[in-house]
Structure 1
């Protein structure tokens, strides 16, 4: 039970950054709608969905520490499917003209190819990020080991440091003779 309440507070559940993933996808969807309506319908949802998906994947990959590739794949899939839904609902005027000219198969193929590219990008970016972090940690460990060996070879001599001691107080004047 504590794990569930902790997941609500942190937004992370078993390596899934669900809160950040949802907020990223929602922000990308809102930006796609703003771009579509600000351009008067001239900027297609196809292009904004593709760009938004790639930006969302990059944002999630840099934030996630666990299950990086899987978080990226989920964000890529949900973000792109949301953009595809926008093409068929909000941007239906453009989609209707494509269907009317008999280019529905090309339209679906273009969307499917872009979806696959987004998934491949998410996986490759996650894999390369994980690999570079492992490599960076490996190089840091090697560097620390070399420094430790160099210290041992020198005899572990530390530079001598002068120790300052407090001077004993003797009181005022001379000491009385006893």
Structure 2
């Protein structure tokens, strides 16, 4: 049996930077579970989710349930790829609490991409009908205004991808 070190994979990047694409690639590794915020949010709150304010409210409720579940999965010896945005210091602190409580390794994957590239990708994926939620340009701008790239002072194990595909 191969030795596996449970690891919590986190992703940070603007809307349409490529977070979900990277998460799917990471989750293809053995003994690794993908937990997708968009999938859970759509199924649990879809009909009620209409604005950024709704997202903030419902995502807080989801974190209350998902955090302890991810802790259990990590303690059981599996790695977890969290397709949740680690886009603010507060969100990253919540994620830090998970891997520290479970006493497992972590990697914060930071996808650095320009607003222009993200908006172009966002428009293309919506034209193809490939995403759970539609985000308008105004919503993109609002969401991006809260975006905070990770800093060295936060102490994460960061892997950076520039203009990732």
**Above 0.5 in TM-score?**
no
Greater RCO (Cα-Cα under 8 Å, separation 6 or more)? 2
More helix by share: 1
Task: Give the alignment's TM-score, normalised by structure 1.
Answer: 0.29
Larger radius of gyration: 1
Task: Give the alignment's TM-score, normalised by structure 2.
Answer: 0.31
More strand by share: 2
